[in-house]
Each structure stands twice: as structure tokens, then as C-alpha cells.
Structure 1
Amino acid sequence: MRERDRFAQLVTLLGRHGMRGLSAKLGFGSPDDGQFVDARPDAVVALLRDIGPVGVKFGQILAMRSDLLGPQWINALSTLQDRVPAVPFEEIAPAVEDAIGGDLDSYFSSFDREPLAAASIAQVHAATMLDGRSVIVKIRRPGIGAIVDADLRLLRRFARTAANRIPELARLKPDELLSQFAESLDREMDLSAEGRSSDSIGAFLAPLGVRTASFEWELSGRRVNVQQRLIGTPATDLDRAREAGVDLQAVARTYAQAILRSIIFHGQFHADPHPGNVILLQDGSLGFIDFGAVGTLLPRRRDQLVQLALSIASDDVAGVADILMIWAGDPEVDRDRLEFALGELIDSFKDVVLSNVDLSKIFEQVFRLLREFQLALPPDLALVLRTLLTAEGFVRRLDPAFNIADELAPVARELIAERTSLITLKKEAKKIGVALARATLSTPEIIGQIDKFARTGKIPVTISATDLQILSRAFEKKPASNPGVIPAALLISAAILSSDWPVLAVCSAAAGALMILRTWIHRNS
């Protein structure tokens, strides 16, 4: 009953923000509520705010998808801030004590009543351990779990209905977006996940002079984490850093190397490295905090990125198109027009000196091209590009003369060395060996099929139900787009499925007649 009431509230919110036409299109309102028109970005942002934590978080995920949404939408969604009124200390204290299994006085010599920050999922308090160490205590808001679970289920229902009824929204792949969103939300709800990421990424970045907070694991779990408080100058206050004599050029280099290397070599990276999550520490090192948003780049995906870079470097436009099509799920596109557009894009920046490369402008062109051809990126790559854009913007603020060539060169050398190392070559040789072994084991079956064909003159053909459905959908969408498909199918079918010449002659005559008839209809329509 509670979910039904909440569902009614969401439908009411659609009407309140001028989206009764959208509600009717989804089947939740009267057909007389108006025609569906594109919702205004500002109205959608207001709607997401009113929905609450799940709406705000989902809007923030959408704000990272410049491959799906234009600048007007991205700018509007980027205004969604995850700031809410704090939960009173009288309600937070019992929640912390329940999570750590004891009174606050048993573990902390002091615990600030006023939070440092309050968000929709958790809020943060400063505290001091009994041994005098300064820590941060992050506690999940009481009751937030039930709210998030219920709203997420309802959002999935809305998304499935929208994808089925509104083609304009189906292009956004709401199921895929919501899967990414659910994973991100589940991770954020588990406060111990932040600690594990901080430890893993921190261990990788330590040799570069980057530190992350250590966690008190005896007190940390899903509902609460207790972490070291890093002391230094916030990267949001660069004037103060300059006055303190901080070498911002050195900070820019360290920061850039940390982001690039964690993405390329570690495969796990801080996905929200904005200045608010960076601290210039007193010992001159760099501190990364708040690992609530973390991205992962699997080796397979990294190899695809390397293939993409090599294709771009060698002017292999077809190779670039192949990778993009794989990422987008191989949709129907005008391949010639896509390759022409990619060629123009590559030509526009291939002769630019690396030190003058502006990633934001390049990404803007790439995103525009992806939207034009409706080629959506996989969520993990969308997060990588958004992270690089965030990092590039911050680096430019730290050092306007930053030379990206100096930072990319050593990374490229290490990547080449890694891919040509004996260990990597040995792994690739092992994969080839396994493939050959599988082929060898299949040899008797292959020979058997050849022998059967030699004896009977027939080739067994299997067509899956999925393939038939795809073919059926193609004809439903574009029944006259390929006038030669049916005649060609008749010819191929006759050749494969029959050695009877009269049957072949009949099929050929039918194919010819169909082609002449369809051509005449096409010319006179």
C-alpha cells in the first residue's frame, strides 16, 4: 500500500511540473491531458529534486552522459546538488552507537554535534579518537535504505514503461542506465565500500606522492565508517595555497599522473576527482578523499581503448567505427556517413601539437557525433570520459600552461612496455594455444559434417529464434528499405536447401519477378 501511495505521488509530481502529457503517454493519466512534448530541462531537474534522494542521484548519473544528452540538458542536470538538511544529533548518535556496537564515549574523546556536511545518503561528523587522532565519522541517514529501495523499484517500472511507449526515451537505454545507477547507489549505501576503494587506490598511488585516508576497520561497516582526517589546504582554495608557497605546477603533474595511471594501469579510479575531493597536505603530498564514486576499467575495455588510439593514430577510420559500433551494441547506422564524420573529426585535431590539445573541445565534438548517430557509450567508458574531463578542467586551473604531452609520454612508454613484455606475450600465447586446442578437439565433428555433406549433398542450417525476431523487427520497421532482401533470400535458399534444378528455376524466376515488381512500385510511389 505504501508503494502504491508513493506511485500516486510520483504521478502527481509529473502533473505539478507540467508533464501531464508525459504521464498520459506512459499510461498513468487521462488521454485528454495533452500531447507528449519534450520536457524542459529545468522542469525535469525540479521534478528530480522533489522525488528525493533517488531522483537527485539519478540526475547526477544522467549529467555524466554527454553521449546521450545535449549541453542544455547536461548543464541543467549538473545543478543537482546532493545537499539536504542534516539529521539532528539526537537521532544520529543512537544510529552511530548501534552501528559501532557501543557508546560514543567508549571510542571517542569528542564528537562534534554539528555535521561537516549532510547529503541524501549520509552525513559526516568530525570526531577525535581516545588516542587523540582526528577522524571523520560518516553515518548513513536512519531509514534511508527503505526509501531508496522503494523508489528504485518504482523508477524501474517507470523506465520500462517509458522505453516501451516512447521511442525518444528508448534511445537513452533506460534499463542500462538504471543498472549502472543501481550499482552506484548500492555501493554508496555500503559505507565500507568507500574504505576498500580508498585502501586499494591509495596503495597504488602512494609511490606517486598521493595519500588517501586510512580507515578504522573495527568500527566501519555498511552503515558507518570511521576514517582518518587528512589535514591540509583544500584544493578549492588555490589563493590560500599560493600564499602558502605551494608549487601548483608540481601539484598539477602529480594529480594528472594519478588520474591517468589509476585508470590505465590500476583499472580502478576515483570517479569524482573535483577540487572538493582533493587536499594539499602539509607535507607537500596530495590527498584524495571521498571514494563514494569509483570507476572500474576492465583489461578488455582498456585493450579496446588502445585499439581505438592506434586506429586514430594510423588514420584507420573504419577501425575507429568498428570500436564505436561494438560499444554501442552494433545498431543500424549509415556506416558510410559515420566513417565520413569520423574522418572529419580526426582530421580536425590530428595535426594539433599535444601541448595545445584541449580535451574538453575534443570530447564536445565526440559527444556531438555520438548523439547524432545515436551511438551510446557503455556506462564504464562514459564514466572514464567524465572523469578525464573533470581532471582536465582542474589541471588547467592549477597550471594554465600545463603540457599534456609531458604527462602522456611516460604513460605511453610504460603501456607499450607492458603490452610487449614477456609475461603479456606468454598470456597471449596461452590464449592462442587454448583456442587451437578447442579447434583440435572439434576436428572430428567438423570432418563428420564435411563427410555428411559429401554423402548427402545437403548442409544443415540452424536459425535461432532470436535471429528470426531480429529479422522480423527489421522488416516491421523498414519493410521497403531493402527491396532486394526477399529476392536474394529466395536465391540463397534455393541454392543451399535444394539440389533440385526445377525448384531452383522456380525460385530464381520468383526472385526476378519480385525484384522487377518492387523496383516499379518504388519508382512510381
Structure 2
Amino acid sequence: MNERTPSETSISRAIGERERFGQIVGIFGRHGLRGLASRLGLGGARDEEMETARPEAVVAVLRDLGPVAVKFGQILAMRSDLLGPDWIRALSALQDRVPALPFDRVRPAVEEAIGGPLDSYFASFDHEPIAAASIAQVHAATLPSGERVIVKVRRPGIERTVDADLRLLRRLARTAEKRIPEIARMKPDELLRYFAESLDREMDLSAEGRASDSIGAFLAGLGVRTARFEWELTGRRVNVQGRLEAIPATDLATARERGIDLTKVARTYAQAVLRMIIFNGQFHADPHPGNVLIFPDGSIGFIDFGAVGTLLPRRREELVRLALAIAADDPAGVIDVLMVWAGDPPVDRIRLEFELAALIDEFRNVVLEQVDLARIFNQVFGLLRDFELALPPDLALVLRTLLTAEGFVRRIDPSFDIGGELAPIARQLVSQRTSPARLAREGRKLAAALGRAALSAPELIGQVEKVARTGSLPVSLDPRTIEQLGQRRSSHVRSDPQLLPAALIVAGAILAGTEPLLGLVSGSLAVGLLVFGRVRKS
């Protein structure tokens, strides 16, 4: 057996990467981007400005670099908080379409994955694919039972291509972060980490089945259908799923001709997308019309769960805080949430607060059914770009999903009443947050916190004794926090002497849910300040 040693493998990989770098330099040069290639450390002495990197030229480079670069471009197309409209428009044109593999290459891959010849598992198997993309292609087939299915098969050898190109992308991203300030603020490492995770899920074709089953169980309660997977035939390289027979949502004309109630379709679709995000936490992240089917009774189905988003409870709480701050006309509260999402970078808070106040004021008197999400998001994204505040990738995906959904609903029915759909969701959200089950969970958290506090009691008593003995209380403040407090104070005409005690009372109430002792201390300080203030007045 002639196996390579680890050192031989490393040498071979290094040679392969040098060849690939040479190809990349040639691709950049072919599209007039030698200056950008130089700034990325790909060789050459020229150092042209980034302005020469026209969006169309960069998109052409990504297309020529292959499937991994194309998919990365599609991820960037979702980041309106990072890139301007010209870039988003150009990147959105990237299509993940490649020539289909001939059947004589597909057949061995399927038979190896399912563990036997096609004839043993399928009554028929179409040689021509329904669709072909960079990771997989799809064929129609029939099971021995007569059930019509689709078979998605991963392209042979795609793992090596993906692995090699991901390594190169990471290297280019690290270089770009050091050399190009415009790219550094985009946090390319974080972007690529998120991209690598989503690409890994897409490479595992069984992950689509798990997501379809999991999200489908939630959607079934809303009357929305998803495909049933044949798990005996499904694995990382192949999945087999039942074929939903319905009208593609791309063909609204046929749906109208057949008398289907499209207002019902729009309502069901909007409720499904919103509830997946807000209540389920796991959602179909690409609900464009090509992935939606319309049934004769007006119900809908979702297909292709290759792109799935997850919104953790912490993020959902942050979104609620953001919504409450907007409803309360509190730009400072909105900024606090945005700063948490952006990693608390230095920013001109006074100017940002002014800009946000103007934006909130613009939409204050707009009735819900006239809310244009696309317009609001575009203005918010513009603010984020101006102040160089980047959203976390998971939230960017949520917003992109909402924009996709809103665009589709407006196509179906331009007068669709968004307010009517949001009202029951808001009521259910409030009900859940005050339900006995939630209160019981909070009670268990409180009990656990009391247990932690009891274990920490000796150290806490020691600290209290030290403060009493020395007469000093050590306090540590972040310089940026001091600067922000100064900015906020200067932005108000006068200071309310009751403000600090009130803030401590609120803080105590919040802390009591997770850290009872801290809540007690905060409340005690508030009472002391109120008493002290009254004594001074008298």
C-alpha cells in the first residue's frame, strides 16, 4: 500500500495552495483588480486604491473563483448593515448554478451512499436532474410503493474543494483585516466562521432532513406542510424526501386562475415566518417564492431547508428590549442594544442618538398596515454603516429573512395588513412571558441563585467586614462608560435628584430575578439615597 506520510501530505497541500494562489492572481488580473490583489497579499507591486474595486468586477471574480466564493458572496449580499446598495445589488445577482453532472457519475455516488443498486430501492430514477447547484443536484425518482420522491445527491469530491477554498478564504480575510480598514470593520473572521458553519450544515444533506422535521413539527400547528424524509435512505451524501405536489409560489398567475385565495396565502405565509422566528427560534432562512408551494385549498408548504437560522432566547429578549425602547421613544435605549450587538465600539453617541430620534419620529405616526419594512430596514442599515456598527450574523440573517418575507407578501397583496398579523403575535408573546410555566422557570432560577449566594456568603461577609474596617469601597469604571455618562448628562437640560435612587430601585428589581443579594444591596442603597436626600432638604 502506497500511503503518503504527514510531511508528504503537507508538502503536497502547500504546492496545491501555491498553484491555487497563482490562479487567483490571474482571475483578479483578468477583471482589472491587480491593485486589490496586491493589497490582499497576492503578489504584485501595484497598490491601487479600493475605489478601483467596482462591485461588478468583484462579483465576476467571486463567480470565477468557484462555488465557495459564490456562496460567500451570497452571504455578503445579506449584509446591508456592512455594504451599500450598489454592492448588495451586485452580490445579489450571484447564482449558485453549475452544469449538472452526467448520470454515470451520479449513480455510483448514490449507490455507495444508500448501500446498494438503485433498482433495489427505487422503481424509477430520472437520469436528468431537476436542478443542479455547486454542492448537490436533485433528481426525481419513485419508490417501490409508488410514492414520488426527490433525491438530492452531493457532488462527488466537493468536500476537498470546499475545505481547500475555505482555508484560502480565511488566509485572505486575515490579510485583508490587517491591510484594509474598510474590510477590518466588517469583522471578516466572524463572517467566515459563521459562513463555515452554514456551509458545513449544507454539506451534510441529512441536516436538511432534521431541520425539516424539527421546524415542520412547529409549522404543522399552523397548517403549513413540509416534506417527509425517507430516513433509511438519507445520510450526509444523499437525502430522499417526499415530493410535495402543488403550485410553485413563483407562479402566482396560475394560482389566481384556479381561484385560490391569495390573501389567505399571504396571511398563512406571514404568520409562519414571524412565528418561526419569534416563538420557535429555529426558522427557514430562505423563504423566497422558489421555496414555497401553494395548495388548492390556499394552504402552503415550505421546501429546501438547506438554509436555517437560529435565534437564541437571549437574542429574542434583546429584540424585545429594542422594540420596547422604540415604542417608548427612547433612542438611548435603542443605542444600548445596538452597542451590545456591535461589541461596544467607540462611537459618537450624541450624534447617533440624534439620528435615531429623527428616524423614530419619522415613523411614529404611521399606522401599522402602512409600515414599509424594506424602507425602515434600509434606513437603519444606512445608519449602521455610517457609524460603523455591524450586526451579529444571526441577527443579520433574521432581518434578511424578514425582508424576503415582506417582499413576497407585498407581491401577493400590496394592501396586506401587517398590523393585523402582528397583533395576535404580540398578545401571545405577552401571554408567554407571564405564563405560570415561565414564572415557575424563573422561580427555579431564583432558587439556584439563592443557593449560589449561600455558598458565597462567607466571602461576601468578609468583603463587607473589610469595607466597614477600612471605610473605603473600591469601585472600578470603564473609561468609555464615564465618557458615555458625560455625554448623556450633557444631552439633558437638568438632572433629576431622584434619578439615581430610581435607577437603583429598577436595577434591584431586575437583579432580584437572578442575583437576589445584589438586588437587595441595590435596593438598600436606593432607600439610603432617598432618606439622605430628604435629610439634606430638611
User: Which TM class, normalised by the smaller chain length?
Assistant: 0.7 to 0.9
Q: Residues 335, 33 of structure 1: CA spacing in aligned structure 2 closer, same or farther, 3 A cutoff?
A: closer
C-alpha contact (below 8 Å) 2:34/2:46 kept by paired residues: no
C-alpha contact (below 8 Å) 1:233/1:281 kept by paired residues: yes
1:189 corresponding residue in structure 2: 203
Which amino acid is 2:360 matched to?
I
Write the mapping of 1:193-272 to structure 2, written as runs, cut at 5 A: 193-272=207-286
State the Cα deviation string for residues 328-383 of structure 1 (Å, max 9, x = none). 11110011111111111111112100011111111111111111111111111100
2:488 corresponding residue in structure 1: none
**DSSP-derived class of the 1:102 partner:** coil
2:172 corresponding residue in structure 1: 158
Which amino acid is 2:79 matched to?
R
Structure 1: how far apart are the matches of 2:32 and 2:294? Answer: 46
Q: CA deviation at 1:231?
A: 0.4
Q: Residues 336, 228 of structure 1: CA spacing in aligned structure 2 closer, same or farther, 3 A cutoff?
A: same
Corresponding residue to 1:105 among 119, 128, 143: 119
* Structure 1, unpaired ranges of 5+: 475-525
C-alpha contact (below 8 Å) 1:191/1:221 kept by paired residues: yes
Q: CA deviation at 1:24?
A: 1.9
1:295 corresponding residue in structure 2: 309
Structure 2: how far apart are the matches of 1:33 and 1:403? Answer: 53
TM-score (norm 2): 0.84
2:344 corresponding residue in structure 1: 330
2:59 corresponds to 1:28: no
Q: Residues 230, 106 of structure 1: CA spacing in aligned structure 2 closer, same or farther, 3 A cutoff?
A: same
Structure 2: how far apart are the matches of 1:331 and 1:351? Answer: 32
C-alpha contact (below 8 Å) 1:135/1:228 kept by paired residues: yes
1:363 corresponding residue in structure 2: 377
**DSSP-derived class of the 1:208 partner:** coil
Which amino acid is 2:53 matched to?
A
Q: CA deviation at 1:460?
A: 8.0
C-alpha contact (below 8 Å) 1:22/1:37 kept by paired residues: no
C-alpha contact (below 8 Å) 1:21/1:37 kept by paired residues: no
Structure 2: how far apart are the matches of 1:359 and 1:458? Answer: 53
Which amino acid is 1:13 matched to?
I
2:358 corresponding residue in structure 1: 344
Which amino acid is 1:144 matched to?
I
**DSSP-derived class of the 2:241 partner:** strand
Which amino acid is 1:82 matched to?
D
2:24 corresponds to 1:40: no
**DSSP-derived class of the 1:130 partner:** coil
How many pairs were matched up? 468
Structure 2: how far apart are the matches of 1:409 and 1:453? Answer: 52
Fraction of identical pairs, as percent: 71
Write the mapping of 1:86-165 to structure 2, written as runs, cut at 5 A: 86-165=100-179
Q: CA deviation at 1:227?
A: 0.3
Q: Residues 460, 391 of structure 1: CA spacing in aligned structure 2 closer, same or farther, 3 A cutoff?
A: closer
1:274 corresponding residue in structure 2: 288
2:528 corresponding residue in structure 1: none
Structure 2: how far apart are the matches of 1:395 and 1:126? Answer: 30
Structure 2: how far apart are the matches of 1:436 and 1:371? Answer: 44
Corresponding residue to 2:435 among 421, 425, 447: 421
Q: CA deviation at 1:20?
A: 1.5
1:398 corresponding residue in structure 2: 412
Corresponding residue to 1:54 among 68, 71, 89: 68
C-alpha contact (below 8 Å) 1:230/1:281 kept by paired residues: no
Structure 2: how far apart are the matches of 1:344 and 1:36? Answer: 32
Structure 2: how far apart are the matches of 1:354 and 1:452? Answer: 57
TM-score (norm 1): 0.86
Structure 1: how far apart are the matches of 2:395 and 2:166? Answer: 24
Structure 2: how far apart are the matches of 1:339 and 1:436? Answer: 39
RMSD: 2.1
Structure 1: how far apart are the matches of 2:63 and 2:394? Answer: 25
State the Cα deviation string for residues 425-469 of structure 1 (Å, max 9, x = none). 222233234334333432322332344466567888999xxx99x
Write the mapping of 1:355-504 to structure 2, written as runs, cut at 5 A: 355-452=369-466
